[in-house]
Amino acid sequence: MSSVSAWFNGLWTDITLWFDGFSDDFYTVFIKKDRYEQMLTGLENTLIITLGALLIGVVIGIVVAAIRSSYDKNKESLKQHGGIGCFILSFLNFICKIYLTVIRGTPVVVQLMIAYFLIFVSVKDGVPVGIFAFGINSGAYVAEIFRGGIMSVDNGQFEAGRSLGFNYVQTMWYIVIPQTFKAVLPTLCNEFIALLKETSVAGYVGVMELTKAGNSIAGVTYNYFLPLLTVAAVYLVIVMILSWLVSRLERRLRVSER
């Protein structure tokens, strides 16, 4: 009997020791010198860059997808009609293709550093540059996601709209685009998750975002365990909230499929 209770006592001591150590670590990593504030600043910057880039990305994505799919859908009729409209659309389509090729063909870190060290040399704050670079980058992926969504809608839908007398833009607006949302949503959510996590490289241009904050605390306190796991947990929670929101939205959009 006594040996069992001794074993339990020993275990208890171990546990309390570990907790003491943990609370010491916790104190050094988060409380001492108000280091948690660094984490909060990091989280704030990560969220600002992500949301800003998201906004820019969606706007660019819509514009580029609109140009690319209008070109594809109207190619034939434009060739026959010719004129300035054909030239402008072909030119815009060409520009968009170059944009997509360059942006998707190079790493986002490199783009970020080019933006910070070569283009916006005079801007000392990395956050707006980060928003810009990640926005431009995300726009390329969002554009292709939207274009894929538009292409996935059966051409008969487009023809039905046109046959009723809707013009090209009205047909897109009332009939094709509402149908793309459902198809596009999961992939778009993927892109947003990827974007959130990609902002972790903003530290390369001196932005104190979440990962950088964790890393710098770890560097100062020589404790990697707590800061890095905390950073990972924060990303995880944000992604989980985002996925939950999107799945709710999907359920609402699925009404017409009963």
Crossing angle of the two packed helices 126-152 and 36-81, in degrees rounded to 10: 40
Applying CB under 8 A, does 170 fall inside the site for another protein?
yes
Q: Which one-letter DSSP state was computed for residue 58? A: H
Q: Which one-letter DSSP state was computed for residue 124? A: -
Q: Minimum CB separation from another protein for residue 76, in Å?
A: 7
Residues 181-220 vs another protein: string with x where CB under 8 A? Answer: -x--------------------------------------
Applying CB under 8 A, does 165 fall inside the site for another protein?
yes
Among 175, 185, 193, 220, interactor with another protein by CB under 8 A: 175
Structural tokens at position 90: 């072909």
Structural tokens at position 198: 């990609």
In this structure, what are the phi and psi dihedrals at residue 231, rounded to the nearest 5 degrees?
Answer: -60, -45
d(CA 57, CA 224): 34
Rg (CA), the chain: 26
CB of 127 or CB of 188, closer to another protein: 188
Q: According to CB under 8 A, which residues from 53 to 92 bind another protein?
A: 76-77, 80-81
In this structure, what are the phi and psi dihedrals at residue 222, rounded to the nearest 5 degrees?
Answer: 55, 20
C-beta separation of 133 from 213 below 8 A: no
Which range of residues in 45-53, 168-176, 212-220, 234-242 is near another protein by CB under 8 A?
A: 168-176
Report helix, strand or coil for 206: coil
Q: Minimum CB separation from another protein for residue 163, in Å?
A: 4
CB of 91 or CB of 173, closer to another protein: 173
The count of chain residues that interact with another protein, using the rule CB under 8 A, is: 26
- Interface ranges with another protein (CB under 8 A): 76-77, 80-81, 154, 156-157, 159-167, 170, 174-175, 178-179, 182, 255-258
